[in-house]
Structure 1
């Protein structure tokens, strides 16, 4: 926090920040806080800049790389984090720390600046709503830091992160505080946001800003991680019932007169790779649908499944909150594929083979899993003998972030989706002994991922709580892949589900040895990230165990 604060003071952020922390000299024409924060309109402009600092990209990628979601791609020679070599100078850890404290700093500057003037009575609701959004973002950033840097989110006495409730001075040394202290602070920020937030934006864009769905989903996730299952269930149910959002469906009707043996598909839309897909000639209805799914223009056609349209940002879908990423602003998918999510796009990471195998398994009742075709690009090469395949023989191209119309690599980041709320409901119901209720929640998500019209995914039957937790963890692995959940899910839920380690395929790690294992145990110290060394060089705070 302190090292990043120093960088902030020495930089000029879009002309917004003053230099009172660096020097007492007020220069002619300086845009300091007193000059900037004079009305609600300027506050809104600063809030817009604050949203631009909102980032979870590094969180998502480290969750993939440090678990079992990815294998090294053909465009990458080595990645130390992927081989579980994690030290205090780890780049992902530093990026997560810096990104979230950057957002917190912007929120705190806005909150401090707003106190410099009293708005007219007519502007007071907008004034308070801007502060509500800033405090909600500040709360979430603190929580996200806790997810990666606190050893035990369910223990109020465990060490958390630095609590940044103000704009600190250069000489301040802020300590790490307990989780309990952080949770109290977060809950107070959320309460203020709930009491003062005004939603005025149209539904097409409202999910890209702090809204009541975000606040309730945030609380559902936070209380789940805290193991307060009563509150987690309460807020998950509130979102499911009152959000106005439904599960995005994947069913697809085969176009009339579609040729049953079509093997080559004309390239359409944006970001397409190879013009062939890696399945046998269409001798079943499911295989015919597989081809037809990629013949449509998925970026613009309303015929595309709603679930796919959500991932190309052609539709809001089941998103409760997304971080806006317009074309040419942030190319997140280039974290997985250098130039685009297709075979020739320079894949840095492939989908892990064991994860891919999960999508190919029958869902029962004649249902087929659309995630096989939604998350893997059609240009992927799938080996018939993965045990002997090289990295160039098998390239399972990750296509969950395929870009949007006009871009190969820009996608909004889905921060909260309705699917997650059903998983939270299911987990909490198991804690309550309601195995049948949990199974019903899981079935609803699986049914939404089936693309065969008329097929019904059977409801699972759980013989024990452990079996239910294992199935919930399995479905979270499939549905929430590449969204930043796997890392914390293994840490907090793995033991209850009977899962003891990460689950990489043998060929997914080219550096397996005693010092660089293919998998690590879920109790391993690396399931808590190190406090970045840059921070500890200037701020005397304790390091996490193992580093």
Structure 2
């Protein structure tokens, strides 16, 4: 499918499913899902609209703004200061975005899945029908996995409360209570199993494939603590998707290469994400680069967030990740920590999203890359006390990024290995939406939390460190849900 097809049908669900996202409300003259999805082609168009519901810019914004990836920029107008100061409560945008957005995706996927049950494909259409359903089941699983990650205090504790399991098209009057983490895992795993059975495509960087399904399964297994499964799934993907060369690594972030990309969300001119989202907000949307700057990824592009020195100081100019992440127009002050005005003398401009198609700040969003899979594999080896095997994988990644052999790390304990893997993830996956989830998952075991550069944070805020065991590594049930569903307020997460 071409880009223009995506653009043409991104609003399809709004027409086919209606503003209430429910097929059980049948008003005269209304085109509901039961009538709109009449054949396999309709399902395929509906799936395109589901893709338009997927967005990782909220994860990117949450990971950058709340953790230790960014510093307040010299051109800041106050955007994102509350989240930077670790202020999270039931009224925070982060809480409402992750809750409302993912339940909306869950509902719209369910509408398509239920409507598909009324369609009998011809033999020649069976693969297309199965693949459309596989993608819908995957997208629903992805949304619910995100709910679990952000709203369950402990994704490895089946008895902990998570989010409601809504596996049907819900009426507007529904007021569900929270299901347990184990019950939400069951829902997610069932959808992933169905998607895996139905998928007819092995590999495709722009659409859900069997490889993308296995990448999600690997991420889920690491989150669950099922490290043998995580190691196997991630290792198979690393074998199929070799790490990019230094040249292709840079081209990948210019959208000129799909080297090591397992699945990405395509962003193009005139689609519904072509624009500047809500700056400094977790409900970012729009161009990913606009999470950090107003105009473009240069010093003159009004960067309101800059790279935190805790990231920059880990980067070596000989490492291609330095070139990809640090804009050449940056002003680098080697004595920033003793300078009386580091905000204006040390300006580290983030260049992860320079733009493509002639549009500054707009780039495709990499959801799964083989580098993440390799680091999951390393984490799994470390968790199983294969410290030498974990070290070999970290070296393999560093060799690829430097383009030359690097020293083999040595780990004295699982905690040491986890800490080094977290540091490598901080470099490799910065500004891709992983840091908040990473610290929640293995930060406590590594004795690593949020550690901003002292000069950066004290100059602008004073909020420099936060333990990974802090309650704010779980989001609160948002006030918008509590107002509509008062009983769930009695199930609020600890600390809020």
Query: Does residue 486 of structure 1 match 2:486?
Result: no
3-state secondary structure, aligned to 1:174: coil
Distance 1:415 1:23, change over 3 A: closer
Q: Distance in 2 between matches of 1:35 and 1:179?
A: 36
Distance 1:170 1:376, change over 3 A: same
* Structure 2 equivalent of residue 238 of structure 1: 236
- Report how far residue 544 of structure 1 moved: 1.1
* Structure 1 equivalent of residue 256 of structure 2: 314
413, 416, 420: which one pairs with 1:467?
416
Query: Does residue 538 of structure 1 match 2:484?
Result: yes
Listed one character per residue, the Cα deviations across residues 124-177 of structure 1 (whole Å, up to 9, x for unaligned) are 332122111100110111001111111101111111112121210011112211
- Report how far residue 497 of structure 1 moved: 1.9
Distance 1:460 1:315, change over 3 A: same
433, 452, 456: which one pairs with 1:508?
456
* Structure 2 equivalent of residue 383 of structure 1: 333
Listed one character per residue, the Cα deviations across residues 38-93 of structure 1 (whole Å, up to 9, x for unaligned) are 10011111111111111121111111111100001123233100011111111122
* Structure 1 equivalent of residue 296 of structure 2: 340
Listed one character per residue, the Cα deviations across residues 350-409 of structure 1 (whole Å, up to 9, x for unaligned) are 000111000038xxxxxx212111101101111132122332222111111111131112
Q: Distance in 2 between matches of 1:527 and 1:14?
A: 33
Residues 380-529 of structure 1 mapped to structure 2, 5 A cutoff: 380-387=330-337, 388=339, 389-451=341-403, 455-499=404-448, 501-509=449-457, 517-529=463-475
- Give the gaps of 5 or more residues in structure 2: 1-10, 274-286
- Report how far residue 122 of structure 1 moved: 2.9
- Report how far residue 345 of structure 1 moved: 0.9
Q: Distance in 1 between matches of 2:126 and 2:428?
A: 42
248, 254, 278: which one pairs with 2:244?
248
* Structure 1 equivalent of residue 43 of structure 2: 43
TM-score (structure 2 length as normaliser) = 0.89
In our comparison, the structure showing a higher alpha carbon Rg is 1
- Give the gaps of 5 or more residues in structure 1: 1-10, 251-304, 362-367
Q: If each structure's helix is expressed as a fraction of its own residues, which one has the higher value?
A: 2
3-state secondary structure, aligned to 1:15: helix
3-state secondary structure, aligned to 2:213: helix
Listed one character per residue, the Cα deviations across residues 411-463 of structure 1 (whole Å, up to 9, x for unaligned) are 11111110111111111112222211111100111011114xxx321221222
Distance 1:328 1:348, change over 3 A: farther
Q: Distance in 2 between matches of 1:414 and 1:371?
A: 15
3-state secondary structure, aligned to 2:175: coil
3-state secondary structure, aligned to 1:162: coil
3-state secondary structure, aligned to 2:89: coil
Q: Distance in 2 between matches of 1:21 and 1:370?
A: 48
Equivalent residues of 2:23, 2:34 under 8 A apart: no
- After the TM superposition, which segments of 4 or more aligned residues of structure 1 sit over 6 Å from their partners? none
